[in-house]
Structure formats: C-alpha cells, structure tokens
Chains A and B, each alone.
Chain A
Amino acid sequence: MSGTDAKGRSRLDPEPSPRRDFLGMSAVGACLGASALALAGMLRLPKVAVTASPSKKFRVHLPDSTPAGEPWVPPGRNVAIFRDADGVYAISLVCTHLGCIVKPGAQGFECPCHGSRFNSQGEVVGGPAPKALPWHAVTVEGSELLIDLGETVKPGTKVRV
C-alpha cells in the first residue's frame, strides 16, 4: 500500500521521536505552568483578607432575679450566663458539632440538630459533639458584665461579682 514504509507505518503515525519533541514539550509545559500559576493567582481572590463581623464584646446587666444555676440568655446572643455561689460565668450556646444553637436548661444543654447533649458544665455527655462547650471571658464592670465571645477561658472559671 502506498504511504506506508517498510515497517508498515503510514505517514500519519511515524515513528515517535521524543528528542525532536523536546522543544514542543517545553512549550506545552511552559504554557501549562503559566496557566496554573495564573489560576492560583486568581484563586487568591475568593479567600477574604478582611472579614467584617459584628463586635464579639458586649455589656449586659444580669437580672437580679436570675436563680442560682439557671441560665440567662441575653437577647440576640448565643451565650448563657449563670450565677451561683462562686460567681458568674458564661457558657457558649454554639454546638461544637456543627454550629447549631443548643437549648440551655437547668440539667444541661441539648442540641436540636443532631442530638448532642452537654451537662451543666458544658461537657459532652452524648451525641456527636467532639468537644465541650467553651466558656467565655467575663469581666465585672460596675453593675454590668463585659462578655467577650472572642475569648475562651478554662471551664470552671467563675468571676466574683
């Protein structure tokens, strides 16, 4: 048949010659490399540098009527404030599992989403939560409390009023 050589190859698939392709391969490599770098540069954009989030510190007045060991939740905040004989303390209400808001009670906390359960100290007693509920820093400022949701303290830290 015309167009094939002695080895039976047609002119459409000649013997491969890697050396001759060197320049071509480097060109393709450079093109792919440049594209990859450009893409990596573009992917910097979705990673935010500055996040605008509301202040994590706030002042509240703990109602005097709050019974010892009972939770009091400031309106619009995901934290429960307690008062007992040793002082006041604040336990986060954000479930350590997947971020739902747990419901505080005298016995402990229950999560509505996936059934995590915590005791009154915020320690996990059941369900999928991997960690205890964090305790937040409380500072007494006159008759008010300054709660810092951005700062966690060692569980059991209570502040004398």
Chain B
Amino acid sequence: MTATNPEKTPLSQFVADLRRVPRRVLDAAWRSGAPTTDRARAEFVFSNLFLHIHPVRTHRWSLRWRTTLGLGAMATAAFLLTLVTGVLLMLYYKPYPEVAYQSIKDIHFVVPTGRFMRNIHRWAANVMVVVVLLHMARVFYTAAYRPPREFNWLVGMGLLVVTLGLSFTGYLLPWDQLAYWAVTIGANIAQSPRELTDALGITGTFDPGGLQRKLLLGSDVVGEEALIRFYVLHVVILPLLLAVLMGVHFWRIRKDGGLARPEDADSRLGPQENVYPVFTQAPLKTYHLAAIVRGRSPVVGKGPENTVPSMPHLFYAEAGVFMFTVLICLALSISLDAPLKEPADPNVPENPAKAPWYFLGLQEMVAHSAFMGGVGIPMIVVIGLGLIPFLDRERAGVGTWFGGPGGPRLALASAAYGLAAVLAVESFAIRFGWLRQWFPDIPQPVITCCNPGTLIVALYAGYSLWIVKRYQSARAGAVALFTCFLCGFLVLTVIGVHFRGPNWDFYWSPADWPRH
C-alpha cells in the first residue's frame, strides 16, 4: 500500500491524502459502509438521523402491499410535495387583497415554472386529502386502531383535521371569488353558534360564535386582516402542527410495535428463504437507553419474529410509493390547471358558489342548517371516530381486511343501508322541501335539531346500535357506523358537486342550469 511505503516523501503522502478526501468525507458521514451484511444494513438505518425513524428490521406482514396499500406513505409524499412547492410559491405570493390576486396571476403567467409549481401544489394537496381519507378507511377496516394503537388513531384524526384546515386556508389565498365567499361562509359558520344563543336570548352576554368569527377575521368585515390571518395559518401554524403530529404519528407506529398484524401472521405468511429471526426466543425485557424497563413495550414476550432488514426492503417500497405519488401529481399538473376565478367582488357572490369538492358534502349539510351542518355534525363525526378504539375492545380480526364479526358481508350490508338512508332523506328534502317551507313561523331551534343532516345521523346511529345488539359486538357496530358515514359523505359530496346548481337548486345535470 502507498500509505506504508517507507520511500514515500511527505509531499506525495500529502497528495495521496488529498486524493482520498472525498472518500474519507463520505466515510466520516456514513460510518457503516456499504449495506452488504444484515449488521451493516441495520447500522445503515439507525446511524442515520433521517432514516432512523424507520425500524431497523420490518415484519414481512407490513411489507405486503395489501396490508397498507402504501396510503400513509403516499400522504407523506404528497405533503412533502406541497411543502417544497409551497415554499417556492411563497417567494412570489403577496398576502394583501387585490395584490394577492395579481401575484397569483404573475405566478401563473410570468414566473418561470410558476404555473407548473402552483398546479403541483394544488394537485398534491388534493391527492393528500383523498389519500388521508383512504388511509383512515384502511386503518379502520383492518382494525389497526386497537390497543396499543388507540392513541395513534387519535393523532391520525388530528392529522385529518389539520389537512382539511390546510386545504381550506390554501384556497382562500388567491383572493378570487371562490376565496372571498369561502372566507365569508367559513367565518359565518364559526359564528353559527349564534343560531342557538340567539334562540336562547343570551347572545348579548355569551357569544362564542361572534368571538370565533372576530378571531378568524381580525375585524368585523372580510378584508386584509382576514387574509393575513389565513396566510399565517396556512404557511406557519398549520404546517408546523402537521409536522409535529406527523412526527408523533410515525414515532408511535414504532413504539406500538409496528403495523398491526394478525396473531397468526407468521403462519399465514409461510416460510421464506434467507429470513431468520434476530431473537430466537421471545425477549423478556426491552432494553432502553435509560434503564431496563419492565414488560411494557409491545415486543416483549413476542418472538421469534419474522422480519427482514428495512434496508433495502422497506426503503425500496417507500421509494416506489413516493415515485408513484409524484407521477400522479405531475400527470394531473400537466393536464389540468389549478383554477383561478374572477377577482373577489364583495357585492356579487358566484351563483352557485361552490367550495372545492371535499367540502361540498359539508356545504350540502350547511344548506339545511348552518350550525348543525357546519359545526354540530362534524363535531359528532369527529367525536364518534375518536371513540371507536375506546369502545371496541375486542381482539378478533386485527390486521386483516374486514376482520371481526360480520366480515365483508356486514360492510356491504351497511354500505347498502347507508346509501339507501342518505338517498331517501335527501330525495325527500329535495322533492318536498323541509319544515321552513311548510311552517314558515317554526322556531329556528326545531330546524337546528331536526333537519335532513341530523335525521341521517340519527338513522345511522340507530342502525349501528341495532347491529351492536344483533352481533353482540362493538366492532360490528363500528363497521356499520363507519361504512354508513363513508357512504353519506360520498353521496352528499356527489350531490354537491354534480346535482346542485344556481341558488343551490337541484338539477339533474349542469347542462340544465338556467342561463342569464
């Protein structure tokens, strides 16, 4: 070797060292060397800050694509896309009424790649909403929220709410007609508890609705203060919250013992060549850094385990999902431009004034009662979803699709019932109207409590309680309720998107809308 050559002069030694600098910098940064053995593969993961959120080894069950469909990773990928493109858009966007609209026009027509970046931002945000909802459905239908994963289900719900919050604050920023009227409607939904306090005659002394509206708008009117507040929410507060919740979400996956899998996962997977357990016996303790802890962690007492090194198996899968997400967002961004309507006009709302598709189910309910549709029912749904893992304490069916009592047949039957109920109530309301048309003098609280939205919720809740009784199982009831709500969301969204026209009237097709 040159380094041990005694005839080496100091100069040639220096030159040799100089030539080795890149190699040595790399070695210093990446101490484990090439991941060619299982030990080096483990080191590759845990000695790297950015990779060590992953486990060193991954269970083979978690790597089957039909376990997760890659939905969580897709949501993360979509978030990263919005993050990068969002920071780029911030270079040109100016959060001030009128100027905001012009800056979006600049981004669209003048800024190099601006239009493409805005499209990617918009489509990745849409993909994120869809994928987060599907991810929640996946976790639900595989009963993966069961102990010890209850808390992560709650964190996931927080992520859903923040994702929707980011979408809402995002489409306000262009300050076009959609934005202006969405801010107006959103702020008034925040004020809608007045529907109740007015009826009780206590708005003068106790007015949570008015306070919420004022906090959101920073003023009595929708204007520059409101825009800057929604901007701060969109670019700082909500993304930070989302990032923190994502960190907790991922960390808890590890601490809760990886992805949920059935008890008999190993026998169902069968043997595979080159897979051997690290622990040949079940470990009795978890070795933490601080102290030797008693059996609280989920791996204690389980083994031998059926894992493969995360490098490369898990990372290749994640990279594949990431590329797939990028591909979808790019394809959408090339073919469809993000919309920009006319500049905001405080005197003339659009007709119909429609929110983006994911809020049109809500808009349909809001068109029955502002407080119930915009505040009451969403809160009931969020609380109901949050309670699921604490009421369903059964063990059967963890980690398998439609596991537990009833199985896929119950899910199908519930879907049929859920569709029938929402279609029946909506058709009735569309055909015959509701209480206000029949009794114009009816007190508002009656309509707040009894409207098509609450009726659908009551029908779903009643059905689900009946299923609990019939199957003697909280899981069966949860499957019934969750499936019903998915169907309700779907139908209301489709009605809002396709069947509502000017004045929120019912039309079979947008082609039938009257022309002015």
A interface residues, Cβ below 8 angstroms from B: 12-13, 46-48, 51-54, 76-78, 97-101, 103, 110-115, 123-128, 130-131
Check if A125 sits within 8 Å of B367, measured CB to CB: no
- Would you give the shortest CB distance from B127 to chain A, in whole angstroms? 28
- Would you give the shortest CB distance from B473 to chain A, in whole angstroms? 38
Check if A99 sits within 8 Å of B184, measured CB to CB: yes
User: Binary interface profile of B, 179-205, with partner A (CB < 8 Å = 1, else 0)?
Assistant: 001001101110010010010000000
Check if B349 sits within 8 Å of A101, measured CB to CB: yes
Q: How far is the CA of A111 from the CA of B187 in the complex (A)?
A: 17
| In-complex Cβ contact of B349 among A13, A51, A100, A131 (8 A) | A100
Please give, as numbers and ranges, the residues of chain B lying within 8 Å of A53 by CB-CB distance. Answer: 219-221
- Would you give the shortest CB distance from A57 to chain B, in whole angstroms? 15
Q: 18 new A-B pairs (CB below 8 Å) besides A98-B185, A99-B185?
A: A46-B229, A47-B214, A51-B219, A51-B221, A78-B347, A98-B184, A99-B188, A100-B353, A112-B350, A112-B351, A113-B185, A113-B352, A115-B503, A126-B437, A128-B447, A130-B195, A130-B370, A130-B447
B502 within 8 A of A: yes
B interface residues, Cβ below 8 angstroms from A: 181, 184-185, 187-189, 192, 195, 198, 211, 214-215, 218-221, 225, 229, 291-292, 294, 346-353, 363, 366-370, 373-374, 433, 436-437, 440, 444, 447-448, 451, 502-505
Please give, as numbers and ranges, the residues of chain A lying within 8 Å of B229 by CB-CB distance. Answer: 46
Q: How far is the CA of A15 from the CA of B225 in the complex (A)?
A: 56
Q: How far is the CA of A59 from the CA of B382 in the complex (A)?
A: 49
A115-B367 contact in complex given A130-B444, A131-B444, C-beta closer than 8 Å: yes
Q: How far is the CA of A111 from the CA of B370 in the complex (A)?
A: 14
Across chains A and B, which 5 residue pairs bring their CB atoms closest together, nearest first? A115-B504, A112-B351, A114-B367, A98-B188, A130-B444
22 pairs across A/B with beta carbons < 8 Å? A46-B229, A47-B215, A48-B218, A48-B219, A51-B214, A51-B219, A51-B221, A54-B221, A97-B188, A97-B370, A98-B184, A98-B370, A99-B185, A99-B188, A100-B349, A101-B348, A112-B352, A114-B366, A124-B436, A124-B440, A127-B436, A128-B373
Check if A112 sits within 8 Å of B219, measured CB to CB: no
Check if A112 sits within 8 Å of B502, measured CB to CB: yes
A127-B291 contact in complex given A78-B347, A113-B504, C-beta closer than 8 Å: no
Q: How far is the CA of A154 from the CA of B221 in the complex (A)?
A: 24
Q: How far is the CA of A28 from the CA of B492 in the complex (A)?
A: 49
Q: How far is the CA of A101 from the CA of B218 in the complex (A)?
A: 21
Check if A125 sits within 8 Å of B352, measured CB to CB: no
A98-B366 contact in complex given A12-B291, A113-B349, C-beta closer than 8 Å: yes
Chain A interface, DSSP helix/strand/loop, else mixed: loop
Q: How far is the CA of A101 from the CA of B424 in the complex (A)?
A: 31
Please give, as numbers and ranges, the residues of chain B lying within 8 Å of A100 by CB-CB distance. Answer: 181, 184-185, 349, 353
Q: How far is the CA of A131 from the CA of B292 in the complex (A)?
A: 65
Number of A-B residue pairs, CB cutoff 8 Å, is: 104
- Would you give the shortest CB distance from B186 to chain A, in whole angstroms? 9
Check if B503 sits within 8 Å of A111, measured CB to CB: yes
- Would you give the shortest CB distance from A39 to chain B, in whole angstroms? 14
Q: How far is the CA of A76 from the CA of B195 in the complex (A)?
A: 28
Q: How far is the CA of A51 from the CA of B219 in the complex (A)?
A: 5
A112-B504 contact in complex given A125-B437, A126-B433, C-beta closer than 8 Å: yes
Chain B residue at smallest Cβ distance from A101: B349
A128-B219 contact in complex given A98-B189, A101-B349, C-beta closer than 8 Å: no
Please give, as numbers and ranges, the residues of chain A lying within 8 Å of B373 by CB-CB distance. Answer: 128
Which residue of A52, A78, A113, A125 has the most chain B CB atoms within 10 A of its CB atom?
Answer: A113
Chain B residue at smallest Cβ distance from A78: B347
Q: How far is the CA of A114 from the CA of B185 in the complex (A)?
A: 10
- Would you give the shortest CB distance from A115 to chain B, in whole angstroms? 3
Which residue of A51, A110, A124, A130 has the most chain B CB atoms within 10 A of its CB atom?
Answer: A130
A76-B347 contact in complex given A100-B184, A113-B181, C-beta closer than 8 Å: yes
Please give, as numbers and ranges, the residues of chain A lying within 8 Å of B437 by CB-CB distance. Answer: 125-126
| In-complex Cβ contact of A115 among B215, B221, B448, B505 (8 A) | B505
Q: How far is the CA of A115 from the CA of B221 in the complex (A)?
A: 23
Q: How far is the CA of A112 from the CA of B436 in the complex (A)?
A: 18
Check if B220 sits within 8 Å of A130, measured CB to CB: no
- Would you give the shortest CB distance from B45 to chain A, in whole angstroms? 29
Q: How far is the CA of A101 from the CA of B348 in the complex (A)?
A: 6
Q: How far is the CA of A111 from the CA of B504 in the complex (A)?
A: 8
Q: How far is the CA of A13 from the CA of B291 in the complex (A)?
A: 10
- Would you give the shortest CB distance from A77 to chain B, in whole angstroms? 8
Q: How far is the CA of A53 from the CA of B225 in the complex (A)?
A: 11
Which residue of A12, A47, A101 has the most chain B CB atoms within 10 A of its CB atom?
Answer: A101
Chain B residue at smallest Cβ distance from A100: B349
Q: How far is the CA of A141 from the CA of B133 in the complex (A)?
A: 60
- Would you give the shortest CB distance from A62 to chain B, in whole angstroms? 18
Q: How far is the CA of A98 from the CA of B185 in the complex (A)?
A: 5
- Would you give the shortest CB distance from A133 to chain B, in whole angstroms? 14
Please give, as numbers and ranges, the residues of chain B lying within 8 Å of A47 by CB-CB distance. Answer: 211, 214-215
Please give, as numbers and ranges, the residues of chain A lying within 8 Å of B188 by CB-CB distance. Answer: 97-99
Which residue of A53, A54, A100 has the most chain B CB atoms within 10 A of its CB atom?
Answer: A100
Q: How far is the CA of A99 from the CA of B198 in the complex (A)?
A: 16
Please give, as numbers and ranges, the residues of chain B lying within 8 Å of A114 by CB-CB distance. Answer: 363, 366-367, 504
Check if A48 sits within 8 Å of B353, measured CB to CB: no
| In-complex Cβ contact of B367 among A12, A52, A128 (8 A) | A128
Q: How far is the CA of A123 from the CA of B195 in the complex (A)?
A: 16
Q: How far is the CA of A115 from the CA of B365 in the complex (A)?
A: 12
Chain A residue at smallest Cβ distance from B224: A52
Chain A residue at smallest Cβ distance from B448: A130
